[in-house]
Amino acid sequence: MALLDIDNLHAKIDGEHGKEILKGLSLKVNPGEVHAIMGPNGSGKSTLSYILAGKEDYEVTDGTVTLDGEDLLEMEIDERAAKGVFLAFQYPVEVPGVATMTFLRASLNAQRKKRGEAEVSTPDFLRLVKDKAAHLGINQDMLRRGVNVGFSGGEKKRAEILQMAILEPKLCVLDETDSGLDIDALKVVSEGVNALRAPDRAMIVITHYQRLLNHIVPDFVHVMNKGRIVRSGGKELALELEANGYAEYQQDAA
């Protein structure tokens, strides 16, 4: 059974005259696989990531999404997280007044609690964070500050990967993780992501550019346009896209 099974997903922006964004998208992701989703701006890539995470601004009008065979669309946002869905945001928000450490701990313990696991003890938690943070070049000062407050673009992305490393999700959805990163930051973030590749963990890497896929090498590449996947292939497809652009697909769909 696929870890994630998206079948004929249709979704629109919530509201009476909400625009339809996803128009029959299907995708199967097995444990251990890394799928890249590429496509032009406005093709619905970010919407897909938000719908998987459970953002309430969208309405699913048709189709199904299951995680380990369970109906994902029926779950609350926090329930999805506890089941192992993690969205690394394209633009992580700043949460002033909530210290990063407090936030990480509240997240981890809330997920564990929902899964019927014991809370992590303070020393274990501190050790866990210290270890993971060091690999991502995140210092103590950043951990003491409010979540993402005053972080640079690169620091925000690293902080997202730190959260991912601590929460150990089954399905990581990385939404344009490369946006706003210079080449050094891209390397650090990619190494962080690669370290999390595991046989029981799948990833969906959403990106506009092939550049990220030099660092996070996918098993499959999908091209998305106008709310659907229009072509799928291996990692070489990304190179082809880099050379030829998306124009061909946009014309096809038009």
Partner 1 sequence: MNADIRPIRTQAEQAILASLATVPGGGDRLADLRRAAARSFEENGLPHRRVEEWKYTDLRSLMREAVPVAGTAAIAEADARARLLRGVEARRIVIANGAVVPELSDLADLEEGLSLTTFAAAMAAGDEVLSRIGGIVPSRYDASLALNTALARDGVVITIAPGAAIARPVHVAHVFASGTAAAMYARSLVVVGAGASFTYAESFEGPDGLAYQANAATEFVVGDGAHLDVVRLQEEGASAFHLSTLLFDVGRESKVHAFTFGLGAAVARTTLYATLSGEDSHVGFNGATLLKGRQHADSTLFLDHQVPGCESRELFKTVLDDSARGVFQGKIVVRQAAQKTDGRMMSRALVLGDEAEMDNKPELEIFADDVQCGHGATCGAIDDELLFYLRARGIPRKEAQSLLVQAFVGEAVETVEHDGLREALVERAEAWLAARA
Contact by Cβ (8 Å): 38, 222 = yes
Token reading at 194: 């690669």
Residue 50 vs 220, nearer CB to partner 1? 50
Instruction: Report which of 227, 229, 228, 224 is spatially closest to residue 246, judged by C-alpha positions.
Output: 224
Q: 155 CB contacts (<8 Å, ≥6 apart)?
A: 138, 142, 148
Residue 62 Cβ vs partner 1, minimum distance, rounded to whole Å: 24
Token reading at 87: 């969205």
Q: Residue 156 and residue 20: Cα distance in Å, rounded?
A: 31
Identify the three-state secondary structure at position 150: coil
Identify the three-state secondary structure at position 16: coil
Contact by Cβ (8 Å): 100, 158 = no
The 8-class DSSP code of residue 19 comes to: P
Q: Residue 78 and residue 85: Cα distance in Å, rounded?
A: 9
Q: Residue 119 and residue 157: Cα distance in Å, rounded?
A: 26
Relative orientation angle of helices 122-135 and 100-114, to the nearest 10 degrees: 120
Which residues contact partner 1 (rule: CB under 8 A)? 53-56, 76-78, 80-82, 86-87, 89, 92-93, 95-98, 102-103, 106-108, 110-111, 114, 146, 163, 167
